[in-house]
Amino acid sequence: MKSRSLMVFALLAAAACGGKKPAEAPAPAPAPTPAAPIDSTAIKARMRQDSINAADARARAAAELQAQLSAQLTAMINFDFDKSDIMPGDMANLDRKAAILMANPSLRIQIAGNCDNRGSDEYNLALGNRRAAAAQRYLINKGVSAGQLSIVSYGEERPVNPADNEAAWAQNRNDQFMPTAGGNNLMAPK
């Protein structure tokens, strides 16, 4: 960071000297060139640039955090065939969601349950609802306010992967999580 500022300063100083490249500076002149004068314009520019860079960095870090929180919040969980039990491997995922929801009381999310297309079309609407409710119940048990959560079911009507094979079916048996309010500027859990 520091070296970068210095470099910027050097470039600015060079620019202030009429744009001549240092390598071409004439050597024989006897009079010693005075030390670069304190150029207040350059310092101001440097300070401005420093603060821009710092703000950029903060914004980048904040955006990264938001993206990370958002990704954690919306990461799907999956289910076994015709099951609505939360799988142990998905509990850490849900725990992160619970923490984010508790750190952001105005955040509301909708949980949508989905099914693969092998079960009965209409039964899958009920199964999807049960899958959404399973995640909802888990989050409430972790301390999330029930008012922050709502559930819907897409049954088998909105497959993530329209293919007809084991891998696609496994992907399509899921809960999806979508912020419906307060999803911007999330606070990170402590």
Partner 1 sequence: MRRVLALGIVTLTAAASLAAQDPTPPIDRGVRVGITYTAGTRPRLVVLPGPGLDSVRTIVQRDIDFSDRFEVLPLSRGDAAGTTSSVNYQLYRTLGAAYGVEIRPAGTGVEIRLHDIGAGSVRQQAVVPLPAETDAGFRMAVHRAADEVVRWITGTPGIAATRLLVLVGKRAYRVDSDGGALAAVTSSGETVLSPTWSPDGRSIAYTRFLDGTGPIMIQPLAGGAPRPVKGTESQLNFTPAFSPDGRTLAFARTDQEGGTDIYAVNVADNCCLRRLTVGRFADNLSPTYAPDGRRIAFVSTRPGSPQIYAMSSDGTDQELLAPFDYGATGASNAPEWSPDGASVAFHRDIDRAQQIFILEVGSRRFKQLTSSGRNSDPTWAPDGRHLAFVSDRSGRGQVWVIDTESGRIRQIPLSGEARLPHWSRHVGGTTP
Q: Is 83 in the site for partner 1 (CB under 8 A)?
A: no
Strand-pairing partners, residue 155, are 114
Q: How many residues bind partner 1 (CB under 8 A)?
A: 28
The one segment of 21-29, 30-38, 68-76, 133-141 that binds partner 1 by CB under 8 A: 133-141
Q: Count H helices, E strands: the chain?
A: 5, 4
Q: Is 127 in the site for partner 1 (CB under 8 A)?
A: yes
State the minimum distance, in angstroms, from the CB of residue 81 to partner 1.
8
Q: Output phi, psi for 114, to 5 deg.
A: -130, 155
The one segment of 32-40, 72-80, 91-99, 131-139 that binds partner 1 by CB under 8 A: 131-139
| Distance, CA of 34 to CA of 130 (rounded, Å) | 80
Residue labelled with tokens 């500027």: 185
| CB of 34 closer than 8 Å to CB of 11 | no
Per-residue contact flags (x/-) with partner 1 for residues 146 to 165, judged by CB under 8 A: ----xxxxx--x--------
Judged by CB under 8 A, the residue of 134, 139, 144, 186 near partner 1 is 134
**Considering only residues 94-123, where is the footprint of partner 1 by CB under 8 A?**
110, 112, 118-123
| Distance, CA of 65 to CA of 59 (rounded, Å) | 10
| Distance, CA of 39 to CA of 121 (rounded, Å) | 75
Judged by CB under 8 A, the residue of 45, 75, 125, 170 near partner 1 is 125
Cβ closer to partner 1: 42 or 179? Answer: 179
Q: Catalogue the E-assigned strands of the chain.
A: 77-78, 108-114, 149-155, 174-181
Which stretches of the chain bind partner 1, using CB under 8 A?
81-82, 84, 110, 112, 118-123, 125-130, 132-134, 136-137, 150-154, 157
